[in-house]
Structure 1
Amino acid sequence: MTVTHALEGDVLRRQDPELADLLLGERERQASTLQLIAAENFTSPAVLAALGSPLANKYAEGYPGARHHGGCEIADVAERLAVERAKALFGAEHANVQAHSGSSAVLAAYAALLRPGDTVLALGLPYGGHLTHGSPANFSGRWFDFVGYGVDAESGLIDHDQVRTLARTRRPKAIVCGSIAYPRHIDYAFFREVADEVGAYLIADAAHPIGLVAGGAAPSPVPYADVVCATTHKVLRGPRGGMILCGAELAERVDRAVFPFTQGGAQMHTIAAKAVAFGEAATEAFAVYTHQVVANARALAAALAAEGLVVTTGGTDTHLITADPAPLGVDGRTARGRLAAAGLVMDCCALPHADLRGLRLGTAAVTTQGMREAEMIRIAAFIGQALRDEASAPRVREQVRDLAGAFPP
């Protein structure tokens, strides 16, 4: 495990043995179970090293060359490096790497382009939309008038006719395309066409697919969207954080929406770790990795269907799968708990056109561990066995432990 030496070192154990034991426990959990949460991955030792670097000590409000604190000479170079690498990686004219999270990035995008009360068209939450796409529990639903589009009841694919009709009737100030539980590629060209027709901004929330985009395994939203919001973890395999990409004409508005409007000081150690991740993502090895992530997801989706689960949209184009375990006699929440007991860690999510919860899982982390299609078939068999027979959990747990041990993270 990449954090072994740091956690077993004398400093932390001497200073805070209680916390050291907790972190070692988490290390063991990750190494002995299968991480199938679609939003999680394993970072490289280099990313972890940057996160624990002296830049963690540096206050750097503002932007390179215009900080509100002294002593930012090296911090400026580090942030410029992250920005230039992000721009080159995604072919963007401008990149802001200060956003603390994906939600922070979306908040800043809205702040740059919208005013409270503006109408926004986005994928409805029951169909895979994110909290920042209009949830009443979130700032987005409280500050803006969100209109939700959905997916076709039969195919599970985004209903493009509904999108166009709603755009024409509601005349939104912005259209958001992106999801946390939609396993297919987004047709960014279609959304650009509709946005242009009604005079709306197009915001792509690419938190999930941006890592695949970096490796050439998914289409890029950058040529089509006015603003692209993303995370730097998930498939991209960097530190937990956010990022915004846009054209030069919106650069100043986006930057001011991040700082000083929605955030204070930049987390320079995280920005340095983002720079490391962008550098890693520009390699051929990372491109090979992202294509294997997709191949694994397709193999896992097919194997889950063979086990009796209903895979939404009939499969996946990405790292992400959503599936209904109801044919095996359990709902999503029950299934998640039963699978956790067997060492299979994943999420549950809303299922389109149903008052039920399904399972959401992904292949980014297990692919980082080196697993391929054959292991995906084994994982699907574990899932099927654990769901059909609750008493089998201890037995499946041992098989999961053996598989995880053969592919240490």
Structure 2
Amino acid sequence: MDHEAVRAVDPAVADALEAEVERQRNSLQMIASENHVSEAVLGAQGSALTNKYAEGYPGARYYGGCEHADTVENLAIERAKELFGAEHVNVQPHSGTQANQAVYYAMLDPGDKILSLDLNHGGHLSHGHPANFTGQLYEVEQYEVDAETGYIDYDGLAEQAEAFEPDIIVSGYSAYPREIEWETIQSVADTVDALHLADIAHITGLVAAGVHDSPVGVADFVTGSTHKTIRAGRGGIVMTSEAYADDIDSAVFPGGQGGPLMHNVAGKAVGFGEALEPAFEEYAAQTVANANALGETLVDHGFSLVSGGTDNHLVLVDLRESHPDTSGGDAEDALEAADIVLNANTVPDETRSPFDPSGIRAGTPALTTRGFDEDDVRLVGELIARVVDAPEDETVRESVREDVADLCAANPLYE
């Protein structure tokens, strides 16, 4: 990739950019929330739209010179509508968290009640964690997965909702490896007269491709990230019905942010266009197949998976039984030293600190983008097992690095 224009002005930044490209090329990116976008998306995000303020919405901007910004945003909106079957789409949120913030701002008052999944059980900070604005502005109760099965306890969720009487129920998660029963949660919300926000940040691409059930048309609001499984420009999205369209648009701008990042909106438009191609459905299906292959391989090597497996793009490994003396942080550090990048993660009924938890989370979106198939990912699973079985063995790490180098050479990135 060409960073010569940067190098001419700032060699230090150019060095860092080139080093990051090489890091991505020569190691396996398995953080479940990461992916590799196309060079077309990168080009759109690095475009001259970086220079343009476009506060407002297409046809109703607060600045002049927005005709091309309008074209790009309208393309992003229409493509998202086609992908998801949504009535109304706002593509301006800077992140999935800001997309969630827009829904809360539009529909809740401070002190209103949110019912959402506990972070240690796979939820997200923006669903009501006390360190996040949601936990500080709203009254929050959180439901959990069943400790034995690792699946959401929908009956328990219903009982908790009846007792708590939330104003909004949040579904969708950051570390839950199973299909989500949107209609079941919607039924609970209807019973207690609550709104339903479905956060599909991790599975946006899987939903778009039809390999995961969609909450669009079921939940009152659907939010997501646009740079994870869908490989579009970095940011967020809100989808809803026309009944809530004005409220959501006002909550995004001017309620929660000023000018949209139009270069990122351009990346969204390009990525959504790519996702409308038949090849994207094949990609999403392969992502899920690869996650299954990874999970099966880890189980074969004695690892315990939360819920026993996966229906989506990630596996969540609980190390407490198979490797009681190895924390998630230990495993993350050892694997990164062997050029396999994933993250330590809390697991249900966590017994360690969230800063050094008992599990690791591994995803297949980025590997699949590179062209990995099930056989490749089974080998990756074996490499992970070798490292975690001997996290301090430099000989093992060196051997695994050589295998990783071979896999990367066979599946090149940004040639």
TM-score by length of 1: 0.97
Moved over 2 A (4+): none
Which residue of structure 2 lines up, in the alignment, with residue 377 of structure 1?
Answer: 378
Which residue of structure 1 lines up, in the alignment, with residue 274 of structure 2?
Answer: 280
3-state SS in 2 of match to 1:383: helix
Aligned mates of 1:139, 1:346 — CA distance in 2: 27
3-state SS in 2 of match to 1:236: coil
Which residue of structure 1 lines up, in the alignment, with residue 349 of structure 2?
Answer: 353
Contact 1:299–1:373 (CA<8 Å) still a contact in 2?
A: yes
Equivalent position amino acid for 1:246 in 2: T
From 109, 114, 117, give the equivalent of 1:115. Answer: 109
Equivalent position amino acid for 2:341 in 1: V
Aligned mates of 1:333, 1:400 — CA distance in 2: 21
Q: How big is the shift at 1:325?
A: 2.6
CA deviations 1:107-160 (Å, max 9, x no partner) are 011111111100111011110110011111100000001110001111010011
Alignment of 1:11-30 (within 5 A): 11-30=5-24
Alignment of 1:278-317 (within 5 A): 278-317=272-311
Contact 2:233–2:266 (CA<8 Å) still a contact in 1?
A: no
Q: How big is the shift at 1:354?
A: 2.9
Identity %: 48
Q: How big is the shift at 1:26?
A: 0.6
Alignment of 1:30-49 (within 5 A): 30-49=24-43
Contact 1:325–1:335 (CA<8 Å) still a contact in 2?
A: no
Equivalent position amino acid for 1:162 in 2: G
Aligned mates of 1:193, 1:287 — CA distance in 2: 29
Which residue of structure 2 lines up, in the alignment, with residue 364 of structure 1?
Answer: 365
1:341 aligns with 2:337: yes
CA deviations 1:257-287 (Å, max 9, x no partner) are 0000100001111111101111111111000
288-297 or 398-407, which moves further after superposition?
A: 398-407
1:255 aligns with 2:249: yes
Equivalent position amino acid for 1:192 in 2: Q
Equivalent position amino acid for 2:179 in 1: H
1:82 aligns with 2:76: yes
Which residue of structure 2 lines up, in the alignment, with residue 192 of structure 1?
Answer: 186
Contact 2:297–2:381 (CA<8 Å) still a contact in 1?
A: yes
Which residue of structure 1 lines up, in the alignment, with residue 355 of structure 2?
Answer: none
Aligned mates of 1:142, 1:249 — CA distance in 2: 28
CA deviations 1:296-342 (Å, max 9, x no partner) are 00000000111111011010000011002331341111111111111
Aligned mates of 2:46, 2:142 — CA distance in 1: 41
CA deviations 1:151-175 (Å, max 9, x no partner) are 1111010011111001111111000
Task: Give aligned pairs, total.
Answer: 403
Structure 2 residue runs of 5 or longer lacking an equivalent are 353-357
Aligned mates of 1:229, 1:216 — CA distance in 2: 17
Equivalent position amino acid for 2:69 in 1: A
Q: How big is the shift at 1:353?
A: 1.6
Structure 1 residue runs of 5 or longer lacking an equivalent are none
Alignment of 1:322-341 (within 5 A): 322-326=316-320, 327-328=322-323, 329-341=325-337
From 384, 409, 413, give the equivalent of 1:405. Answer: 409
Aligned mates of 1:283, 1:215 — CA distance in 2: 10
Equivalent position amino acid for 1:372 in 2: D
Aligned mates of 1:307, 1:359 — CA distance in 2: 15
